[in-house]
Every structure is written in structure tokens, then in C-alpha cells.
């Protein structure tokens, strides 16, 4: 089971790296230095950047949306105009992050990653924290048909009416992990072994239940190996 769980947990590394911080950090939301404080959202604007990250055996197209103050947005345009050559999407992203911008989008995922094998990743963030009220905030769809979903509110794993982490492998193995306000409750694993349906429930932290020996092939998560996509 530990090998299976690494797939989902390592995929979170990309979001942590793109945010320039840690995923699922508890605490009240705070506006970053480049963003206006709560109550002044009308002064915010959003900047979307795109670029491709290449690895020895894979590549991913990154699309990120950042929230910045109008002042920071004006400064970013001035910075671009002063460059001798047009800055790349990654250059713009690095500049935005260095000036306090955070991944943020109200009408869709703030991060979208499309891998060359067809795998996709989407992350919904608000003020740099994974957060979505009406569905999973972090979604992986692997090329082999397996999927991973994580439900977050204000950066913490949380779901009131079901599992906060759901991993479905192409071989039929399913892992459901329940969290409330970031606190682990239980894990339920379902799979077929020797032609028989097996369902196990554990009150212990994830990676305790042992599932079938097979694992799906998944793309390497940026940050787990290869250059950092930030």
C-alpha cells in the first residue's frame, strides 16, 4: 500500500513547489505581500502564465493563474517592457512569485498540467491554498485510466460527506481516506484478490493496508525527480 500512496502524495509535491510553500498548511488565510488584504478583492487582478517543463523521459505543459494587486500587475508590465528579449512564461512566473503572487482562481483550476503521455493534473487554489467547495481541489488523471482526487478546504484535507482522498487504480484497486479539518479518521481499501472482492477498513494512518502487488504506471511528479518546475 505504501507504494500506491506515494503516487498521490508525490503528486502533491508539484502544487507545493508551484506555490513556493507547503501543501495543506493549517491556519487562517493570509493575503501575500503582492496581494491586497481581505475586503479589497476588487483591487485584485489575475495573471496567467504558461510554459513547458522537460524531463529526460517526459514533459509537462504548465498553465498557472496568479492573483496580484493592480500595483504589482503594473510593475510586472514595466519589468517586461524593460527586458531586452521577451521573458518566457517561466521568467514571468518566477517574477510574480518573487513579488508575493499566489496561485488563485475563482472560476476554475489555478494550475493545469498536461503531460506528454496524456496524463493531466488540476489544482484549485485560493490565496495559494488548495481549496474548493463543490468538488475535489486536486485531481490527477493518469494515462492508464487511474485517478486520484483530493478534497481540501483552506489548505486542509477535508470532506464532510465522504472520503477526502480517493485513489482509483486501473486494476480495480480503490483507496478511500477520510479526513475532517486535516485530521485523519480512517482508510477503506477495496480490491479483488484471487477473484474475490476484498474490503478492508483501518483506523490507522494511511499506508497500513496492504493491497494487490501490481501498481499502475504514472508519470514522475515534478519535485519527486528531475528539475524543479518552479
- pLDDT tens digit at each of 230 positions of the chain: 434 443 443 344 334 334 333 222 222 333 444 444 454 444 789 999 999 999 999 999 999 999 999 999 999 999 999 999 999 999 999 999 999 999 999 999 999 999 999 999 999 999 999 999 999 999 999 999 999 999 999 999 999 999 999 999 988 899 999 999 999 999 999 987 777 888 888 876 654 333 333 333 333 333 333 333 33
Cβ(103)–Cβ(128) below 8 Å:
yes
Count, residues in the chain:
230
Helix or strand run (H / E) with residue 48 = strand 44-55
Crossing angle between the packed helical segments 70-82 and 89-98, to the nearest 10 degrees: 130
List CB contacts of 91: < 8 A, sequence separation 6 or more: none
CA–CA separation, 51 vs 200, rounded Å? Answer: 42
Amino acid at each position: 500500500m505504501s507504494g500506491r500512496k506515494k503516487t498521490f502524495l508525490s503528486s502533491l509535491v508539484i502544487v507545493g513547489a508551484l506555490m513556493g510553500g507547503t501543501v495543506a498548511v493549517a491556519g487562517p488565510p493570509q493575503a501575500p505581500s503582492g496581494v491586497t488584504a481581505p475586503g479589497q478583492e476588487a483591487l485584485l487582478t489575475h495573471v496567467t502564465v504558461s510554459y513547458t517543463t522537460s524531463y529526460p523521459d517526459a514533459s509537462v505543459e504548465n498553465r498557472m493563474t496568479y492573483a496580484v494587486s493592480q500595483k504589482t500587475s503594473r510593475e510586472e508590465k514595466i519589468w517586461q517592457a524593460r527586458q531586452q528579449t521577451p521573458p518566457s512564461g517561466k521568467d514571468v512566473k518566477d517574477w510574480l512569485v518573487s513579488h508575493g503572487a499566489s496561485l488563485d482562481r475563482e472560476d476554475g483550476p489555478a494550475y493545469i498540467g498536461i503531460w506528454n503521455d496524456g496524463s493531466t493534473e488540476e489544482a484549485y487554489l485560493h490565496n495559494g491554498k488548495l481549496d474548493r467547495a463543490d468538488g475535489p481541489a486536486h485531481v490527477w488523471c493518469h494515462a492508464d485510466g487511474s485517478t486520484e482526487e483530493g478534497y481540501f478546504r483552506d489548505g486542509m484535507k477535508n470532506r464532510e460527506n465522504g472520503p477526502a482522498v480517493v485513489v482509483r487504480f486501473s486494476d480495480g484497486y480503490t483507496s478511500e481516506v477520510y479526513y475532517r479539518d486535516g485530521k485523519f479518521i480512517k482508510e477503506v481499501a477495496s480490491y479483488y484478490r484471487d477473484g474475490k472482492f476484498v474490503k478492508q477498513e483501518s483506523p490507522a494512518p494511511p499506508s497500513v493496508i496492504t493491497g494487490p502487488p501490481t501498481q499502475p504506471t504514472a508519470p514522475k511528479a515534478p519535485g519527486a525527480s528531475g528539475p524543479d518546475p518552479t
